[in-house]
Amino acid sequence: MSHHKQIINRLEQVKCLLLDDMPIDSDLVEVLDIHLKTILEITPEQETIQLNSSPGSVIRIWSDGACTGNPGPGGWGTIIIVDGNIQELSGRSQRTTNNIMEMTGALEGIKRTPEGSSIILTSDSQYLVKGMTQWLKNWKKKGWKKADGNEVLNRDLWMKLDQESQKRNIQWIWIKGHAGHPENERCDELARKAITRR
């Protein structure tokens, strides 16, 4: 049984014990049910679990980010497919930018794969894909400065992405957003739902 299911089972037991030890209060029952529903909405896929792949298999990662205002509340969504098994992840930040959420979605997916993995990572963020495939090398050579001499924005995330990517073989692919790619659309949905999650 997963850690997530164990927590839910334990909470159900606590609810039953509370209701057994006191007169039935419809308001209390409603409050308990709301809290349990909230926990159930935090799906098992959001747990931090390490994915394992068969030797020679390629892991597919799709990621996306969204922001309400820029900066503003933001969310990220990621799908990982390993040997036919699908894991969905999402998260939020109260004050962030769209680019940070795009980068975070990719980073969170990569971190959940074993070192040495072969990965195809697909994103609709040109900022992310060009950063990892075209700009990163020169930024590092120039001490994390851009061509105009200014500091690279989001340097901490670029460094984390670089560090994790060096441990894996990653092919970065850009696709146009909202163009009918099911996985991309799902990542967008996960990211937008995460923004409103409390």
Q: Render pLDDT for 84-134 as a digit per residue (tens, 0 to 9).
A: 899 999 999 999 999 999 999 999 999 999 999 999 999 999 999 999 999
Statement: residue 6 has pLDDT above 70: no
83 and 141 fall within a common domain: yes
Residue 149 annotated as catalytic: no
Catalytic residue chosen out of the listed positions 102, 105, 109, 131: 102
Residue 65 annotated as catalytic: yes
Catalytic residue chosen out of the listed positions 74, 75, 109, 124: 124
Cα separations in angstroms, 45 against 11, 27, 79, 114: 19, 31, 9, 17
In tens, the pLDDT along 167-191 reads 999 999 999 887 888 999 999 999 9
With respect to residue 181, please indicate whether it lies within any of the assigned structural domains: yes
Which residues constitute the domain of residue 15?
Answer: 3-42
Q: What pLDDT score does 9 carry?
A: 58
Residue 178 annotated as catalytic: yes
Q: What pLDDT score does 173 carry?
A: 97
Residue 188 annotated as catalytic: yes
70 and 151 fall within a common domain: yes
CATH of the domain at 69: 3.30.420.10
Find, among 124, 148, 146, 149, the residue nearest to 135 by Cα: 146
Find, among 56, 92, 48, 80, the residue nearest to 196 by Cα: 92
Catalytic residue chosen out of the listed positions 64, 75, 105, 183: 64
106 and 161 fall within a common domain: yes
For residue 174, what is the enclosing H or E element? strand 169-174
Residue 35 annotated as catalytic: no
Catalytic residue chosen out of the listed positions 65, 74, 105, 131: 65
In tens, the pLDDT along 139-171 reads 999 999 998 999 999 999 999 999 999 999 999
Residue 25 annotated as catalytic: no
62 and 138 fall within a common domain: yes
Catalytic residue chosen out of the listed positions 75, 77, 131, 188: 188
With respect to residue 48, please indicate whether it lies within any of the assigned structural domains: no
Identify the band that residue 41 occupies on the pLDDT scale cut at 50, 70 and 90. very low
28 and 125 fall within a common domain: no
In the chain, the number of structural domains is 2
Per-residue HEC secondary structure of 18-74 comes to HHHCCCCCHHHHHHHHHHHHHHHHCCHHHCCCCCCCCCCCEEEEEEEEEECCCCEEE
In tens, the pLDDT along 63-75 reads 999 999 889 999 9
How far is it, in rounded angstroms, from Cα 183 to Cα 88?
10
